[in-house]
A and B are shown apart, each in its own frame.
Chain A
């Protein structure tokens, strides 16, 4: 049978979209009581030595 190839962009999203974990609209607000903050981090150096096995982070 010749099945159609469906383009993903033609498929609708749900009525209420769900952003990634930690995303906010009111970014000005301090999330003082929330650990759900997304932070983009740039590492200049490893902050964790190899094979530490201590579970610090």
Chain B
């Protein structure tokens, strides 16, 4: 195995790497402090607090077809970022970023449920992937401004989301530089089919809180093939519940009982109920009974079934 001397040296002394990282960080802080960028960052925060996009002038301009401000933003960022990386090639950009052979993303600004990010899809690598079989819908809004490259996409409308299978209407569309796409992501998905060159776009996304899970449907049949939490907080809470349960932390049972009874993700509430029952039979069964007895609660039916099963297996629960 060959290890570059510069990397080898870092094993004994990581100070140069820390200095390089500080330099990248300082460069990006300076970039963000420029008035044009700072106005956009402020707008992202305002947008996350619920403002309409039109009220956020600097941010809204980025998603007006033909407006030059988007190129100013991206060219400004790449000039500063690339300059700093050329001076410090082993450093990382401090912003969240992701790269695989096909897709690269970089989050330019984020606040609350809102992200403003750059996305690049490499056409040659994309062509080697098997074609997408599903479309994903998630609770939120998405804006996309194509900056470079071209792509053929399929716009998939979920025209009848209630009931299964859902009805999906599929229409081909072209993405060209300067195009702006706006989607209610719970009803409309964009599935990439073919990419010429590198497709570069600026994306703005705002997730809705407590608006249900993200759902993935089979394009051919409309069958639900997967659903996942619509909010990362729900997943974090579920993982925490599982850990507390395995640790036998019965002192967490009252908190789990509150989570199970509060409005929120059905999945999170059900997991809280299960863990609560296992940690503290009395608290858990009381919570289960309350949920089962409230016909307006979406979990009422499964809670009723579970309650009947538990009572059959353990008749003494009825004495509680």
Contacts and interface: CB of A to CB of B under 8 A. Distances in A.
Contact of B229 (A2, A14, A20, A46): A20
Contacts of B115: 35
B189 interface: yes
B316 interface: yes
B229 A19 contact: yes
Chain B facing A: main interface SS: mixed
A32 B277 contact: no
Contacts of A39: 98
A3 B316 contact: yes
B225 A56 contact: no
B94 A31 contact: no
Contacts of B25: 48-49, 52, 54, 56
Given A8-B274, A11-B277, A45-B17, A20 B28 contact: no
Nearest to A54: B29
Given A28-B132, A56-B29, 12 more contacts: A6-B278, A20-B228, A21-B230, A25-B216, A28-B130, A29-B133, A32-B119, A32-B121, A33-B185, A35-B105, A45-B21, A54-B25
Interface residues on B, range: 35 or more
Interface in B50-82: none
A16 B28 CA distance: 44
A5 B275 CA distance: 12
Contacts, number: 175
Contacts of A15: 302
A15 to B, nearest CB: 8
A31 B228 CA distance: 15
Given A18-B227, A34-B138, A56 B129 contact: no
B92 A47 contact: yes
B158 interface: no
A20 B98 contact: no
Interface residues of A, number: 44
Contact of B22 (A1, A28, A34, A49): A49
Contact of B126 (A5, A6, A30): A30
B300 to A, nearest CB: 13
Contacts of A22: 228, 232
B214 interface: yes
18 contacts: A3-B320, A5-B281, A14-B302, A18-B267, A21-B229, A21-B234, A28-B129, A29-B129, A29-B132, A30-B121, A30-B192, A33-B203, A34-B138, A47-B91, A48-B25, A49-B18, A54-B28, A56-B25
Contacts of A5: 281
Contact of A26 (B105, B192, B216, B310): B216
